[in-house]
Amino acid sequence: MNLAPYTSQDCSQCGSRVRKSLALREHRCINCGFVAHRDHNAAS
C-alpha cells in the first residue's frame, strides 16, 4: 500500500499544510477552521 506523504498534516477541506507532532491527535486547520480527528482528516 502506498500512502502520500503529509496526509495527516494536510487539511482535507482546504489543502493547507498544518504542521503538528505525532502526539497531537486532532487536526485543527488554522486556515479554514476545519476540526477532525487526525486519522479521519488523513483518510478524507
pLDDT at 11: 95
The reported pLDDT for the residue numbered 6 is 79
Query: In this predicted structure, what is the pLDDT of residue 2?
Result: 77
At residue 37, the pLDDT reads 94
Q: How many domains does the chain have?
A: 1
User: 14 is in which domain, residue-wise?
Assistant: 1-44
Separation of alpha carbons 42 and 27, rounded Å: 9
The confidence score (pLDDT) of residue 36 equals 96
Q: pLDDT per position in the chain (44 positions), as tens?
A: 677 787 889 999 999 998 989 899 999 999 999 999 999 998 88
